[in-house]
Chains A and B, each alone.
Chain A
Amino acid sequence: MDATQNAARQPVRMRGRSYVAFVFSPVVPIVSWLEEIDATLARSPGFFTGKPVVLDLSAVDLSQAAITHLVGSLDQRNIRILGIEGVDEAKLGGNLPPLLTGGRACIVAQTEPQAAQAKATANTNTNTGIKAKSPSLLLDSPVRSGQSIVFAEGDVTVLGSVGSGAEIVAGGSIHVYGTLRGRAMAGINGNSSARIFCQKIEAELLAIDGYYQTAEQIDEGLRNRPAQAWLEGESLRITALN
């Protein structure tokens, strides 16, 4: 409202962004749990550097002083706590990190990079799932019969055709700049907004988020034409692109 009343003032812009956080669940005795952390750090120094870390205290019953001490101990190991879960808010006062709720579990690849490789791994981003932008896979040659391309992390683009008896499985959308004769399965991780695009449709099977159609069900009138498939509620819709 302020912005409309006083045009000279810039409204504060806020954007949402999600990151995958590591969640530590300390167990008693805290001393030996910290030793475990030390052992992990000895194997891969800098493993937690630059990554958001959340402390889940639901498994232990700690006083405010103990929590302060634990956060301090982790801070000494260069692990800064972003927030705390599973604890009474009243215990978190003063300089302690805020209480977080509404977290959802997700898969974090079990890659423990060696010290020397740590940087390279971070660059290539092998399944760490921390990259903010969703990655995509580009194939610049035809996908042949019998080949199976599985890329759960994001979109797949094929410059060429997908042969009969070949399959593309993608976490995101699938783009085929050629004839799609094989099977295309998009949005396999529950991504219902994924789509399938192809320059010519002769597919054996199309699926998005588990909802599929076989060649028999695909409208004959679409054959050999550019088409896209998307999910409308629980039905798979396929239409010509032009």
Chain B
Amino acid sequence: MAKVLVVTSGKGGVGKTTSTAALGAALAQTGQSVVVIDFDVGLRNLDLVMGAERRVVFDLINVVQGVAKLQQALIRDKRLENLWLLPASQTRDKDALTEEGVRRVIADLKTKFDWILCDSPAGIERGATLAMRYADEAIIVTNPEVSSVRDSDRIIGMLDSKTVRAERGERVEKHLLVTRYDAARAARGEMLSIDDILEILATPLLGIVPESQDVLKASNVGCPVTLNNTGSAPARAYIDAVRRLMGETVSMTVPVERKGLMDRLLRRRAA
């Protein structure tokens, strides 16, 4: 049975797109067939993070409007053959999305894939509401700071009221993914702690992704961090999150950078 998962946050810049790509790739590595959809019409990024920007011909809007067939718009990942991307249009805006069109596309994808990951745009307007509209489950991406947490709270409220499942009286299962977490800064009180965030949002934790240079490096080369550097701290956090998503019990830790002997000996370059 195909699962529709929306990756959302309310606030921009917290790591929705990065997380969608990383989770999608990690899911695909377990053998599941996965499609990631970019709902950020007009400001698309998922194609860049996935390294597929030079192969976009048709996009979600073309499919929604019936200009292109779904098969024509889907782009297969070069590294993983069971990972696919449905890109957004960069030249249009969110008004080009229709509820009926999105419903049709998702119903169609459900017959072909195990997992459908919807990368939501920031905000609470049309793009974001349509990205979550048909979701079975939701991943709420949050940074450990108050504005991001409050926006996440708002989004959780919308997941409980504006989705098809909510309107039918069913539940959208929600998972919290904390990104850009810095344990040292949280300990010094410069960041909200995981406990603070969980206390405010009252939503089960899916994973804690540490702040890391590896995330930016992976984005810049157009490769999900879970493919680019599998052993890195953020990649291990995303892989653990995917295992939890698939029902495994994995103890919750914040992965740390593995330092080699030379790193430890040569800790700091003298000025």
Contacts and interface: CB of A to CB of B under 8 A. Distances in A.
B154 interface: yes
Interface in B147-163: 150-151, 153-154, 156-158, 160-161
B50 to A, nearest CB: 31
A160 B202 contact: yes
B221 interface: no
Interface residues of B, number: 14
A147 interface: yes
Nearest to A202: B200
B67 to A, nearest CB: 36
A173 to B, nearest CB: 23
A166 B24 CA distance: 33
Nearest to B151: A145
Interface string A139-151: 0011111110000
Contacts of A146: 124, 153-154, 157-158
B153 A164 contact: yes
A144 B154 contact: yes
Interface in A130-180: 141-147, 160-161, 163-166, 179
Contacts of B153: 144-146, 163-166
Contacts, number: 41
Provide the main secondary structure of the chain B interface.
helix
Contacts of B154: 144-146, 163, 165
Interface residues of A, number: 15
Nearest to A160: B202
B138 to A, nearest CB: 13
Given A160-B202, A179-B199, A181-B200, A165 B160 contact: no
Contact of B157 (A144, A161, A179, A181): A144
B151 A161 contact: no
Contacts of B200: 161, 163-164, 179, 181
Closest 5 CB pairs of A and B: A144-B157, A145-B153, A145-B154, A163-B153, A146-B154
